[in-house]
Structure 1
Amino acid sequence: MALCAVMFLQTLLIVLGLTLVGALEGSDPQEVTARPGEDVTLQCRAHSGYPITQLEWSRTDLKAEDGYVFFYRNKRPQENYQHPSFQGRVKLRDPEMKGGDVSVTLTNVSLKDSGRYECQILISSPERIDIRQLTDLTVNSSDGNILEGTNGAGGNPNGEKPGVYPGLVIGLSVFGALLLVVIVVSLVVYCKGVTRQKSCRHPVEAAHKPH
């Protein structure tokens, strides 16, 4: 039973850790403000010691089939997957991505660059890890105006700044709770089976024990 208790505690810590990471990833996006012609850094970091297999920087108001802001795979940037408006304007802040730094620098920004940017990281590990982080970029003109239709809200035409995927955070929490219940039930069944096997084994051993 001691082994079962240890397994239960380890599993509980893993599930709670994964759920917490998912909730943190769904926190409010970073806010970045710039003026036309400036260079900006969109920050993103992978907190894992495993190698990054794929990195996708996208803008939420652009369709994936139209191209990415920045796309990295097979240990190098893939410019042929970039949206035409970002080609030649986006590069990794640290080409070696030391410490999981996958931030990118967007050069010579314009009013049309205002919007919400998403960083998605796929990490090669025993369990596939998918990390998402958001950044809201607002480009103001010299007279304080912004691109018509964005209202400085990361590409939202209504000028609202909704929370980041609240349904995702709730879904992750529910999934973590359900997963924990399934694991606990499985461990209980397993431990009962182990106990039953031991109790059945003792009478047999006693029957064969010489008097």
Structure 2
Amino acid sequence: MVPLALFFVLLTVPVLDFSGDTKNITAKPEEDVLLHCQGPRGAKVELVKWSRTDLDPDKFYVFFLRGNHTNGIYQLPSYHDRVTLSDPETKEGNVSVVLENVSGNDTGTYECRVGIREGEEPKVYSTIHLKVEDPAAEDKEGYHRLVVGLSVAGVLIALSIPCFIICCIIWKRRNRLTKSNSYNNVPAE
């Protein structure tokens, strides 16, 4: 019974859909970024919808294509005139888009849905998390860490100086006491 179940699992694994995996992309401000999405090869793409999962994806979108026409009515204003298909003919199911001139506001999770048949609910083919990192902000953060580190080091040094002085005083007194005791304990000849 177990070998038959194992055979069934091994037979079905290659058929499973792993499109739920999120790809991570990191970019710098003002760069153009390719958001990759591969729909089914050989099928005529009827609908392409790119949306941000954190910005009400049912109501607004980043890019929308139905047939051969883009629709900007419900496009998020910050994406207007900044998103284009990397292959306008969507050959072989390539519905990747180029997001131009990215900024920190573009950081988020993007989802690509593709519809093949008219009236059919589009399916998710790609999920991408884009992080736009500002090197200037990283420099400021590094500077802040340096200042904090130097401040802590300064406090530790400031506290260690009095401790050092007290230790020296105690050592000197103890040394004096040992010398005076050694003179007092010298046997008379």
Structures share fold, TM-score greater than 0.5: yes
Partner of 1:47: 40
RMSD (CA atoms): 2.6
Q: How many residues align?
A: 128
SS at the partner of 1:64? coil
Task: Say if 1:73 and 1:21 are closer, same or farther in 2 by CA, change over 3 A.
Answer: farther
Residue among 123, 127, 133 paired with 2:126: 133
Match status 1:77 vs 2:79: no
TM-score, with structure 2 as normaliser: 0.60
Match status 1:61 vs 2:54: yes
Deviation, 1:84, is 0.6
What 5-or-longer segments of structure 2 have no aligned partner?
1-7, 139-189
Q: Which has the larger radius of gyration?
A: 2
Runs of at least 4 residues off by over 6 Å: none
CA contact (8 A) 1:66 1:83 kept: no
SS at the partner of 1:143? helix
User: For residues 24 and 128 of structure 2, what CA distance do their matches in structure 1 show?
Assistant: 6
Task: Say if 1:48 and 1:135 are closer, same or farther in 2 by CA, change over 3 A.
Answer: same
Match status 1:122 vs 2:111: no
Deviation, 1:131, is 3.7
CA contact (8 A) 2:22 2:128 kept: yes
SS at the partner of 1:61? coil
Q: Percent identity?
A: 39
* Aligned counterparts, 1:1-211, within 5 A: 16=12, 20-22=15-17, 24-26=18-20, 28-64=21-57, 66-124=59-117, 130-143=123-136, 145=138
Give the partner amino acid of 2:107: S
Deviation, 1:21, is 4.3
Give the partner amino acid of 1:85: S
SS at the partner of 2:111? strand
Give the partner amino acid of 1:120: R
User: After superposition, what is the alpha-carbon deviation per residue over 1:159-183, rounded to whole angstroms, capped at 9, x for unaligned?
Assistant: xxxxxxxxxxxxxxxxxxxxxxxxx
Task: Say if 1:65 and 1:25 are closer, same or farther in 2 by CA, change over 3 A.
Answer: closer
